[in-house]
A and B are shown apart, each in its own frame.
Chain A
């Protein structure tokens, strides 16, 4: 970590976005995580994605649980309201916040301990309810803040820094999210922003439960040989199924890939996901095929990354609940209180 504030000086050629903000305007406080932490790269990717999407920072609500990953919302989008909740319970708080105001953009940041262990249930239920959110798990396979215990996403057979071998099966959050009905599922790597930034942009533009599992090496406790979440291991075993460009509704679509290698998916908000296929037969709109492909590659020891599944026609919880368009936290008294006349009628039926 560093204790000096990051200088506000920036490169003279930094370009402001549609809102007049430079990328630097999307930053938060200086990170207090260890030097080289993958989580900081993910924060940088979130900053880049929000900048590129021209999101007004104050219209984003960022929520997290407890743990290294959950500290990060302090380190990006300083002009947004943030909520560092309790361990493993960010999904429910995010759900409640989303119910209160459907107009904000909800970004949940969690870790593998937070989402795969203590909060596994809440993760599952928020996903299956289709809460409109971007849910990023910063997955390092280890409990960092308590100094290096295995987490539930540690691969069976992987070794801790102290040399202990993990004998429990790993929870693969991507497979779980697919099974639970998440309408946007991706996996990426903190060390590959070229892949990660477009995925975050696409997820933020997605209406529904968007989940990104981001392998994020813990430099302190899980970046040794024998780890399956180290920079080296992930780079050696990364099998990316596609490369993504997110084209906003107002930009002309420009694709520079050879014909036939690109799939385009239009989301609810009009944004176009232009997917350059790296794995020839991979279809990111086929949930069952995605699950089966993941299982196969996983068995072969590979880490499949990219946009694994997207349902462009996804619905969210508000649609299921048929709530009014006005955010619930903005309804006026008269829209909420039936009044004395209604009570008089009701009283009459209770005698």
Chain B
């Protein structure tokens, strides 16, 4: 469609699939002449892979999403597609918590249509790579790739993006491209591919004054604002028209200021701490605790608010003057900096973390280096 191979579609369209591609397909169909466009999905609405806002936008464009319907059969008459027959299912869970979609026994449902778009995802396949090249494949036919160097089992051949570890998004692909580039550079220089230059990291204090920071630390209690949309009638006229109008300058700036500041870190300096509790008292989300040290599991339960996200490591200080430690649960930290504002001794500081990934050298054939 994008390349102009397809310019129109039937009046009645069924899109099969529940991911963002399906959302893309159905909304594009509306713009190519589809009037009665439906998305029909095997799973439930909440389990659909599509992002919530994509689903919202599809519904906004009068596209119903029908769930728990498994396609059984394309129906046709006189060599022409007439519709799709679906079996109604319901989600059940076995003792291990795995979901299974089982037929409900209700009569099959038939939806008429002129076109069906199958948007159920893609798999990698490398039938065109000769298997005797010295490149090893795994049981699913995927090349064996080193997760650090992105080199295949055949030196000098590198994989990245969907080709390396299956479909992910473009951000991953770019990152892997960077890493592969470092490897290729090392390879060309005859160096050890695993001897990789470290990325450049840096922490810089953001403190400007008693209560001033060089980042926007105020926390907004507002919910996410809706992006203004173009009138539906207009938006459906042309597939190339932007639907989201975007924020105006003022709103845009305000939205940018409520950045979560993930890069601004709370940094704790044990020797300066006098254990006055000021940070504990001011923290809006109870993520700081001064307590006796202990095993992680025990410690997680003894915090001011329990640290339940096991994927998030606890920040535990060295032993303080009273023999206790400071424990911070980063999971809920708002990066508001109030702990550092209330800290009388500067034991807490808000420092911006910068990470510059390693780059393959592009000058003079030298070794890869941190810029």
- Listed in ascending order, the chain A residues whose CB lies under 8 Å from chain B are 1-4, 6-14, 24, 34-38, 40-41, 43-44, 190-191, 193, 217, 219, 223, 231-232, 235
B218 at the interface (CB under 8 A from A): yes
Question: How far apart are the CA atoms of A43 and B276 in the complex, in Å?
Answer: 13
Central interface residue in B218, B277, B280, B282, by most chain A CB within 10 Å: B277
Closest beta carbon of chain B to A1's beta carbon, Å: 7
Question: How far apart are the CA atoms of A270 and B279 in the complex, in Å?
Answer: 35
Considering the complex, which residues of chain B in the window 288-313 have a beta carbon less than 8 Å from any beta carbon of chain A?
A: 305-306, 308
Q: Is the CB of B306 within 8 A of A13?
A: yes
Question: How far apart are the CA atoms of A282 and B97 in the complex, in Å?
Answer: 57
Q: Is the CB of A10 within 8 A of B306?
A: no
Question: How far apart are the CA atoms of A232 and B276 in the complex, in Å?
Answer: 10
Q: A9-B219, A9-B334, A40-B277 are in contact. List 12 more A-B contacts (CB 8 A).
A: A1-B341, A2-B338, A4-B341, A6-B282, A7-B284, A7-B285, A9-B285, A37-B344, A44-B280, A190-B277, A193-B277, A223-B274
Q: Is the CB of B332 within 8 A of A36?
A: no
Q: Is the CB of B281 within 8 A of A219?
A: no
Closest beta carbon of chain B to A163's beta carbon, Å: 21
Contacts of B282 in A (CB 8 A): 2, 6, 40
Q: Is the CB of A4 within 8 A of B285?
A: no
Q: Is the CB of A40 within 8 A of B286?
A: no
Contact of B284 among A8, A37, A231 (CB under 8 A): A8
Closest beta carbon of chain B to A17's beta carbon, Å: 15
B41 at the interface (CB under 8 A from A): no
B308-344 Cβ-contact flags toward A at 8 Å (1 or 0): 1000000000000110000000001010101001111
Question: How far apart are the CA atoms of A2 and B282 in the complex, in Å?
Answer: 10
Residue in A closest to B345 when the chains form the complex, CB atoms? A36
Q: Is the CB of B341 within 8 A of A11?
A: no
Could you pull out 5 A-B pairs where Cβ atoms are within 8 angstroms?
A: A4-B211, A10-B284, A11-B305, A35-B210, A235-B321
B267 at the interface (CB under 8 A from A): no
Contacts of B281 in A (CB 8 A): 40-41, 43-44
Contacts of A8 in B (CB 8 A): 221, 284
Question: How far apart are the CA atoms of A125 and B129 in the complex, in Å?
Answer: 96
Contacts of A35 in B (CB 8 A): 210, 278, 341-344
Contacts of A41 in B (CB 8 A): 276-278, 281
B287 at the interface (CB under 8 A from A): yes
Contacts of A7 in B (CB 8 A): 219, 221, 284-285, 334, 336
Q: Is the CB of B343 within 8 A of A11?
A: no
Q: Is the CB of B345 within 8 A of A10?
A: no
6 tightest Cβ-Cβ pairs between the two chains A and B: A36-B344, A7-B219, A44-B281, A11-B305, A219-B344, A2-B341
Question: How far apart are the CA atoms of A6 and B344 in the complex, in Å?
Answer: 18
B217 at the interface (CB under 8 A from A): yes
Question: How far apart are the CA atoms of A6 and B280 in the complex, in Å?
Answer: 13
Central interface residue in B218, B276, B305, by most chain A CB within 10 Å: B276
- Listed in ascending order, the chain B residues whose CB lies under 8 Å from chain A are 210-211, 217-219, 221, 274-278, 280-282, 284-287, 305-306, 308, 321-322, 332, 334, 336, 338, 341-345
Q: Is the CB of A231 within 8 A of B275?
A: yes
Residue in B closest to A1 when the chains form the complex, CB atoms? B211
Contacts of B285 in A (CB 8 A): 7, 9-11
Contacts of B341 in A (CB 8 A): 1-2, 4, 35
Contacts of A1 in B (CB 8 A): 210-211, 341
Q: Is the CB of A6 within 8 A of B342?
A: no
Residue in B closest to A230 when the chains form the complex, CB atoms? B274
Closest beta carbon of chain B to A57's beta carbon, Å: 18
Known: A43-B281, A44-B281. A36 touches B274 (CB 8 A): yes
Q: Is the CB of B343 within 8 A of A36?
A: yes
Residue in A closest to B305 when the chains form the complex, CB atoms? A11
Contacts of B336 in A (CB 8 A): 4, 7
Question: How far apart are the CA atoms of A190 and B280 in the complex, in Å?
Answer: 13
Question: How far apart are the CA atoms of A223 and B278 in the complex, in Å?
Answer: 15
Contacts of B287 in A (CB 8 A): 11
Q: Is the CB of B342 within 8 A of A219?
A: no
Residue in A closest to B340 when the chains form the complex, CB atoms? A35
Q: Is the CB of A217 within 8 A of B284?
A: no
Closest beta carbon of chain A to B296's beta carbon, Å: 18
Q: Is the CB of A2 within 8 A of B342?
A: yes
Question: How far apart are the CA atoms of A242 and B218 in the complex, in Å?
Answer: 42
Question: How far apart are the CA atoms of A267 and B148 in the complex, in Å?
Answer: 67
Residue in A closest to B336 when the chains form the complex, CB atoms? A7
Question: How far apart are the CA atoms of A8 and B287 in the complex, in Å?
Answer: 14
Closest beta carbon of chain B to A141's beta carbon, Å: 16
Q: Is the CB of B286 within 8 A of A14?
A: yes
Closest beta carbon of chain B to A254's beta carbon, Å: 18
Q: Is the CB of A12 within 8 A of B221?
A: no
Q: Is the CB of A11 within 8 A of B338?
A: no
Residue in B closest to A231 when the chains form the complex, CB atoms? B274
Known: A13-B306, A34-B344. A191 touches B277 (CB 8 A): yes
Contacts of A37 in B (CB 8 A): 278, 344
Known: A6-B282, A36-B278, A38-B276. A11 touches B332 (CB 8 A): yes
Q: Is the CB of A6 within 8 A of B338?
A: yes
Question: How far apart are the CA atoms of A190 and B276 in the complex, in Å?
Answer: 8
Contacts of B305 in A (CB 8 A): 11, 13-14
Q: Is the CB of B308 within 8 A of A44?
A: no
Q: Is the CB of A13 within 8 A of B342?
A: no
Q: Is the CB of B342 within 8 A of A40?
A: yes
Closest beta carbon of chain A to B211's beta carbon, Å: 5
Question: How far apart are the CA atoms of A100 and B338 in the complex, in Å?
Answer: 40
Question: How far apart are the CA atoms of A10 and B275 in the complex, in Å?
Answer: 23
Question: How far apart are the CA atoms of A36 and B273 in the complex, in Å?
Answer: 10
Question: How far apart are the CA atoms of A11 and B306 in the complex, in Å?
Answer: 9
